[in-house]
Structure 1
Amino acid sequence: MSQIEELVERLCPDGVTHVSLGNVVAYSTTTIDASELTETTFVGVDNLLPNKAGKTTARHGPNTARVTQFQEGDVLLGNIRPYLRKIWLADHSGGCSGDVLCIRIHDTSEISPGFLFQVLGSESFFRFFTKHSRGAKMPRGDKKEVLKYVLPVPPLEVQHEIVKILDTFTDLEAELEAELEARRAQYEYYRDQLLSFNETPPQIRWVTLNDTGIFYSGLTGKTKSDFDRGESLFIPYMNVFQNPTTDLTDTRHVSIGPDERQNRVQHGDILFTLSSENLNECATSSVIRGQPEANLFLNSFCFGLRPSHTDGLDLPYLSHVFRSRAFRKEIPKAAAGVTRFNVSRTRFGKLMIPIPPLDRQRAIGRTLDSFDTLVNGLTSGLPAELNARRQQYEYYRDKLLTFKELKS
C-alpha cells in the first residue's frame, strides 16, 4: 500500500467532505497603486504560467491607477478566453490585471495553497470554468458560478502528501524545460543569423506585406451559441499563438449558416493574432503548411494574409521570417492600445520582409526546420519526453484528487 493510500485509510476511510469553492475561498478585494509595482510584482493574464508549478515571468505593464492586490499563497487564474487554463500559485505579493482572478483561502489550516492550486489546475475544474464562462467575443468566467465548484477537502496531512507527489512531477518538468529552453535559445540565435541580410538588391528583395498578398478577417458576427457545435471547424487563437506552423488537428466546432460570408483558410495562408495584453505578443504568426479541411475557418481574434504569388515564396522560410527577432521588432509600428493592444492592418501591411531567391529561401527553411524539430517536435527527443511527463502528471493529479464523498 502506498503512503497516500495508508494516510487515506487511516485518516478518512469513509470518505472526505466535499464543499463549494466559495466556502473555503474568496476573491481578493484589495487594490494596490500600479506605480508601486515592478516587473516581478505585476502579473498580467499573458504572463501567467500554463497549468504547472513555478514562478511567473511577468513583465511590468499596468495601464490603470490601481490593480487587484495579491499575496503569497493566493492562486491566480486567467479569466478571459483563451487564457482560462493559465494558473499560478503566488510565491510573493504584488498586483494583477483585471483579466486575472485572485483567489484567497479563508483558513490555511483547512486547505493548503498547494492543494488548492492542484484542484484549480485539474481537468474537472477547467471543464466547469469553461462551461460557466460568459460573453460572445472574449468569454470570461462567471465569478459567482465559479465559486459553486465542488471540491474534496481531505485532511491536511493527505493534502500535503498529494502536493509532495505532484511536485515531484513538476520538478522533473522544470528540469526538462530548462534544457529545452537552452535549445530554443540556440535555435533563435541561428534563425536570426540566417535571416540577417546585408546584401543589396537584386540579391534580396524587400517587399511590404501588402505587396505579397491580401489580408482577410477571422469569423465575424458569431455568438457563444454558435460555438462547440455545427459541422464547420475553426482554428483557435492559441493554435496561432503557439505554433509557427499551424496545427491542423487543433480545431474547434462552429455553426456557420449556408448564406454566411466567412473566410475559409487555405494552404499557404499566414495567420496572425490580432490583439494581446502585451504589445510584444501582438501579430504572432502561424503558417498553414498543410492542406486544411474545406470547411476550416479562423477565430475572431486573428486575421490572415493570403500570398498572391506563392510560386516565389517558400512557406517554411516564411514561417521562420515572421517569428524572427528582426520582424518582431517592427510590430510596435503597427499596434496600439491601452489595456489591450490591437494590430492595425493598414499599418501592418506596410511592414517589410526580405525575399531572397527561392533556392536560398528553401535552404534556410530546411535548416531552420531541422532546428525547430529538435525544439518543438512532439514525437522524439526532449519535447516528447516532456509531453509524456506532463501527461503522467495530469493522470496522477486527477486520480489523486478523486475522493469518495463522506456521507453525513
Structure 2
Amino acid sequence: MSSVSFLEKLLDGVDVEATPLEKVAEIKRGTSITKKDVTPGKIPVIAGGRTPAYFHSVSNRTGQTIVIAGSGAYAGFVSWWDQPIFVSDAFTVKPYSGLLPKYCFYWLHGMQQQLHELKSGGGVPHVYPRDVAPLQIPIPCPDNPKKSLEIQAEIVRILDSFSELTAELTAELTARKKQYNYYRDKLLSFEEGEVEWKALGDIGDVKMCKRILKNETKPEGDVPFYKIGTFGKKADAYISRDIFEDYKRRYSFPKKGDVLISASGTIGRTVIYDGEPAYFQDSNIVWLENDESVVTNKYLWHFYKIAKWAVSEGGTIDRLYNDNIKKTKIIVPYPSDPKKSLAEQARIVAILDKFDALTNSITEGLPREIELRQKQYKYYRDLLLSFPKSEETGA
C-alpha cells in the first residue's frame, strides 16, 4: 500500500476539532532548585536547556512526561522523558485521558519554532504556561473517544518508527566515529615500519592571503571572503572579481587541494580548498605550501586532526602562529624511499577517506541517511497532524 493510500484510509472521514491545549492537558510549573540544593543522584534535573542541568536524588515527575523549557536561550524547547525526572525552570504538559502523551509530544515538537517565538521579556527570555495554554491541538474524532485514541495511537506508531530508525542510525554513526578515530590513531602512530618525525617547517612554508580591508568587502558580490567566523561555513562578506584576480596573481594563494588551517578561534580546524573562487582572511586562515612529492595534502589533512600543535612549555593555545605550525611534527613513513612513502601515505588516506565519508559526509554515508530520515519524519509528522482530506492527500 502506498503512503498516500494508507493515509487516505487512516484519515478517511475523520472529523477534527482544534482544542485549546489547556482543555485537554494539565500544564504545570516545575519546582525551582539550585545546584547547591541538589543531592547527588541519577535523576535528571530539567531546567532551561536542551540537556539536564545536573542530577539529583529526588524526582517530581514520573512516567511519560512532556517538558517545555521555561527560560533562557532555549526557552520553549520541547523534550520527552520516560523516566523519573526533576522539573525545575520548566513546565510539563500532562494530557488527560482523551489525549495520548506521545501524540501530544509529536504535535508540540512539530510546533517547536512557534514555541521558541513565544519568548518574551528583557534580559533572560521566558516562555510561560499561559503562552502555551491557548494553543490549538487537533483532536481526531472528538465525539468518539475510542476511535480518537486508535487514530492517535496509529499516528504515534508511524512517527515512532521514524524516530527509532533515526536513533539507530545515530547510534551507528557514533560507533563508526569511534572506530574511525581508533583506526586513524593506529594508522598514524606507525607501530611498525620505517618512519621519521619531520617538522612541518621542513616540509613546506606557511602561507596566507593578502590582507583584505573592511572597505574592500561588501555583503554581496562576486567572490566570497571567508573570515575566521565563517571558515568552513557560508560567507557573509564578498570582494570584487577585480580585487580577487589581482591579489591572487600578486600574492600568496592556495592551490586546489591545499589544506587551510584555522589559526584562531577553533584552533587547527581544517578545510580542503576546492579550487573555486574564494578569498581567506590573512593570519587567521593559513596553509602549508608543501612539496607533495614528499608529503601529500590529503595525508596532511588526516594528520592535522591528531596534531599536537607546538607551543611553549606550559603555554595555552589561543592562536596558532607561523612558528607553532612550523615546529609541529608529523610522522613520514619510509622517508628514505619517496616512492614507497607516497604509496604508504596513499594506502592510509584511502582507508581513512572511507571512514570519513561514512561518518562525516553530508552527501553520502550515515549523516546523509540520518538527514533523509529526519526529513521523512518531519514530512509525515506535518502531514499526519494536519489531517489532510482525501482529495488533498491525493493531490
TM-score tier by shorter-chain length is 0.5 to 0.7
Taking structure 1 as the reference length, the TM-score comes to: 0.55
Q: Partner of 1:270 in structure 2?
A: 261
What residue identity is the alignment partner of 1:306?
V
Bigger mean CA deviation after superposition, 374-383 or 185-194: 374-383
Pairs within 5 Å for 1:239-388: 246=232, 251=234, 254=236, 268-271=259-262, 285-291=269-275, 294=278, 305-307=285-287, 309=289, 315-324=297-306, 344-345=318-319, 353-357=328-332, 359=342, 363-380=347-364, 383-388=367-372
User: Cα gap change, 1:334/1:292 in structure 2, threshold over 3 Å: closer, same or farther?
Assistant: farther
What residue identity is the alignment partner of 1:175?
E
Q: Distance in 2 between matches of 1:239 and 1:387?
A: 23
What residue identity is the alignment partner of 2:81?
A
8 A Cα contact 2:267 2:318, kept in partner: no
Q: Partner of 1:90 in structure 2?
A: 81
SS of 1:290's partner is: coil
| Gaps in structure 1 of 5+ consecutive residues | 49-57, 222-228, 241-245, 259-264, 275-281, 298-302, 336-342
| Gaps in structure 2 of 5+ consecutive residues | 141-147, 241-252, 333-340, 389-395
SS of 1:17's partner is: strand
Q: Partner of 1:52 in structure 2?
A: none
8 A Cα contact 1:76 1:90, kept in partner: no
Q: Partner of 1:113 in structure 2?
A: 101
Q: Distance in 2 between matches of 1:367 and 1:9?
A: 52
Q: Partner of 1:224 in structure 2?
A: none
Q: Partner of 1:74 in structure 2?
A: 66
Q: How many residues align?
A: 330
Percent identity between the aligned chains?
24
Q: Distance in 2 between matches of 1:19 and 1:149?
A: 5
User: Cα gap change, 1:202/1:176 in structure 2, threshold over 3 Å: closer, same or farther?
Assistant: closer
Task: Please give the root-mean-square deviation of Cα atoms over the aligned residues, in Å.
Answer: 6.0
Deviations 1:117-144 (A, max 9, x none): 323433xx34435656799xxx986525
Q: Distance in 1 between matches of 2:305 and 2:106?
A: 33
8 A Cα contact 1:268 1:310, kept in partner: no
Q: Partner of 2:186 in structure 1?
A: 193
SS of 2:92's partner is: strand
Q: Distance in 2 between matches of 1:310 and 1:133?
A: 52
What residue identity is the alignment partner of 1:114?
K
What residue identity is the alignment partner of 2:298?
P
User: Cα gap change, 1:286/1:118 in structure 2, threshold over 3 Å: closer, same or farther?
Assistant: farther
What residue identity is the alignment partner of 1:31?
I
Q: Partner of 1:278 in structure 2?
A: none
Deviations 1:342-382 (A, max 9, x none): x84489x9698542349465653343112212334455555
Q: Distance in 2 between matches of 1:239 and 1:76?
A: 32
Residue 152 of structure 2 corresponds to residue 168 of structure 1? no
Q: Distance in 2 between matches of 1:389 and 1:184?
A: 19
8 A Cα contact 2:17 2:138, kept in partner: yes
What residue identity is the alignment partner of 2:185?
D
Pairs within 5 Å for 1:192-231: 192-196=185-189, 203-205=196-198, 231=220
Residue 33 of structure 2 corresponds to residue 31 of structure 1? yes
Q: Distance in 1 between matches of 2:84 and 2:43?
A: 10
SS of 1:165's partner is: helix
Which has the higher Rg, Structure 1 or Structure 2?
A: 2
Q: Distance in 1 between matches of 2:153 and 2:71?
A: 27
TM-superposed CA distance for 1:94, in Å, is 4.0
